[in-house]
Structure 1
Amino acid sequence: MANNNRSQWDLGRFIQTLTYFEVIPFLNWIQDFIQGRSHSSSDIPDGAKQMGVILVAGATGGVGQRVVRRLLEQDYKVRALVRDIDKARSILGNDVELVVADITKPETLTSLVMADIQAVICATAVRVQPVEGDTPERGKYYQGIKFYQPEIVGDTPENVEYQGVKNLVEAAAQYLPKAGKQLLFDFTKPSTELQNTWGAVDDVVMGGVSQSNIQLVEETALFAGNVSTANSGGFASVRTRNFTPPFNLSGYEGVELRLRGDGKRYKFLLRTEAQWDGVAYSYSFDTEANTWINVRIPFAEMVPVFRAKTLKDGSSIDASKICSFQLMLSKFEYDGELNPKFSPGGFALQVESIQAYGGTNLPQFVLVSSAGVTRPGRPGINLDEEPPAVKLNDQLGGILTWKLKGEDSLRESGIPYTIIRPCALTEEPGGKEFICEQGDNIRGKISREDVAKLCVEALQQKTACNVTFEVKEGENTASSIDWQKLFSQLQPNLR
């Protein structure tokens, strides 16, 4: 005998949910075929790319363009700061965001340029060329094989190497995330990518009739709808599609939500596996009606659950592979217990941001400087043994002196930094072992390719934080590099 008290179940919404989250690939194929659309890997949210932008200054230079290429190869989201957008596009291609600005003009370093940055790599430099004029035949000048008398072309070292770097540092300090935090979702800046990452998972998947959705309104993500206990239901939620690759938050303590609720108790869940109906880690939190609050969710306090039942033998969270996030309003707490602040009907939860917190400090500003910056005027220096930049520092507008002042502006800023001082730069392919020292005494050469490699790797190494070092290439080819060991041999906070 039919249950006349049951509400009508919506088969269409059920199928829509399964196809959106690709639970049954065959259904997606049928829907794509009917609607005449092709499925692209770009539809899949990328955990690495969600985590802020790397701003590259000097992106069209010899080191800068190699930095951009390496960042893109590692799935970073890259923004190149350039002065000539047509020239930059011809050099960097179409896969990088370009913004027009000039570090010597601080008024150009606007929120459009600096928004959402995770870190900065600065590879700017004044232009130096042979007095005779630069020609393809004289390209060897740049490899240190034959010396041509150099001269500064264009802006002065004071403007570029010092004032420009200082301007960029001061602008970055206003926009970089606070040390130990990492912005994951910023709903104050709505985008199609954000909208397409989240979708509703309501109790329709269990036969219920609750309805919810997520909309980007008023610079927030609004999770709202109507929750019903009909048909033994009683939950509404929004969930991200699986991140490919996942978020790696292994260096953080947990996540922090900035939100405004309606006085109800909600749940935040995350998953470390891509299964649709697998184990989740859950944390319940209360909201204050019409009040903005920060909710910290420690990974260590999240409860492993399967369909709201706790798993007594559940493993701890592997924060290195977080595949999805979910926000939920449910009549149940855990193991059959009821949510004490639940009531059926309308609800609304606004979320401004989701970020990781409690992380180990990583470098947020990598500056490419130069070996020799402390040598001009240093007692005991034999100029006959020094490279041309040291010998000709005064003739070249005090280039090394101003580079050192640029370094100092970064050290004094409070931004976690790495300052790389390469020896003579070459166009060789690289791949040699690195010889790193401190104290500014070494001489030698190193390829621009290898300097770019150092810049990108420094972003990922906590032992690279607040270190300044000189680097040249060794004689041997390096088949692999232990980056943690390389940087851990360096002393922090040295000039």
Structure 2
Amino acid sequence: MSRFRALWQASVNATKRALAWNVEDMMPASEKCIFNFHSKEEIDKWHLYSDSEYGGLSSASLEITDSGSGLSGIFSGNLSTDVTGDCRWKINRSGFCGMRSKKFNGFIDLDAYDTIAMRLRGDGRCYISTIYTENWVNSPGQQEDNSWQAFVLVPKGSWHTVKVPLEQYLPTWRGNVIDVNLEMNPARIVGMSLSVNAEAAFPGARAGPGDFRLEIDWIKALRTL
């Protein structure tokens, strides 16, 4: 009888260990790295855009350099509020540049996370973080991804880890916040971007035409709750 009890107890203990392991294994990690800028290959994941596509004169570049403490990305360029004399486009404003990730292979699922974190070194300008999700409108005439934006102000001169809760990202349409009752679906994220324009979105932020420079170490999703 004692041998049976020993076998039974051993089986119970093994089951408890298995259940405990399964629960821990199912819990998502506290953070998920989405992008890091620690290799030259990272540039291949992004493409640049600016008002120059519509007759503006702004320009941007993205490169990976060694800042002395390791490799990081540098998004830099020049913001101009002018347009070319022979501009064929009627644009409401110029003076913007951005770097947008190429579409993921399908999508990434950030449903288990509540915050986007970015380690940045800025220039005093206000930048815009955008998350793109699958379109909620299943229509041939509406092919653009949903976009959700939040402002990011990085003090000049030193590294900062900026944390933006997902709930602070607002739905936008072509750069303008739209007044609709929508919730982001973080399980279907198809891309991200960082952009800058000549208009300051925060009091005290550097504004106007001229050079810009944002150094990027990594972009992660965090589970803080």
User: Alpha-carbon deviation of 1:201?
Assistant: 1.1
Q: Which amino acid aligns with 1:209?
A: L
Decide whether aligned partners of structure 1 residues 245 and 205 sit closer, same or farther in structure 2, where only a CA change above 3 A counts: same
Question: Over alpha carbons, which structure has the higher Rg?
Answer: 1
Report the counterpart of residue 186 of structure 1 in structure 2: 36
TM-score (norm 1): 0.34
TM-score (norm 2): 0.72
SS of match in other structure, 1:239? strand
Unaligned runs of 5+ in 2: 1-27, 84-92, 136-141
Decide whether aligned partners of structure 1 residues 259 and 301 sit closer, same or farther in structure 2, where only a CA change above 3 A counts: same
Contact 1:199–1:213 at 8 Å: present in 2 too?
Answer: no
Deviations 1:72-96 (A, max 9, x none): xxxxxxxxxxxxxxxxxxxxxxxxx
1:341 matched to 2:206 = yes
Report the counterpart of residue 272 of structure 1 in structure 2: 133
Give the percent of matched residue pairs that are identical in Structure 1 and Structure 2.
Answer: 23
Match of 1:226 among 78, 91, 97: 78
SS of match in other structure, 1:185? strand
User: Alpha-carbon deviation of 1:309?
Assistant: 1.4
Alpha-carbon distance in structure 2 between the residues aligned to 1:310 and 1:223: 25
Contact 1:281–1:305 at 8 Å: present in 2 too?
Answer: yes
Q: Which amino acid aligns with 1:251?
A: A
Alpha-carbon distance in structure 2 between the residues aligned to 1:278 and 1:314: 17
Q: How does 1:108-123 map to 2 (within 5 A)?
A: none
Deviations 1:5-32 (A, max 9, x none): xxxxxxxxxxxxxxxxxxxxxxxxxxxx
Report the counterpart of residue 82 of structure 1 in structure 2: none
Decide whether aligned partners of structure 1 residues 276 and 332 sit closer, same or farther in structure 2, where only a CA change above 3 A counts: farther
Alpha-carbon distance in structure 1 between the residues aligned to 2:169 and 2:211: 27
User: Alpha-carbon deviation of 1:351?
Assistant: 0.4
User: Alpha-carbon deviation of 1:254?
Assistant: 1.8
RMSD: 2.5
Decide whether aligned partners of structure 1 residues 270 and 317 sit closer, same or farther in structure 2, where only a CA change above 3 A counts: same
Report the counterpart of residue 358 of structure 1 in structure 2: 223
Report the counterpart of residue 154 of structure 2 in structure 1: 287
Q: How does 1:76-91 map to 2 (within 5 A)?
A: none
SS of match in other structure, 1:196? helix
User: Alpha-carbon deviation of 1:179?
Assistant: 4.7
SS of match in other structure, 1:248? coil
Alpha-carbon distance in structure 2 between the residues aligned to 1:197 and 1:327: 13
Report the counterpart of residue 207 of structure 1 in structure 2: 55
SS of match in other structure, 2:189? coil
Deviations 1:218-276 (A, max 9, x none): 11111000111112411011000111221100000021000101111111101003787
Alpha-carbon distance in structure 1 between the residues aligned to 2:213 and 2:143: 25
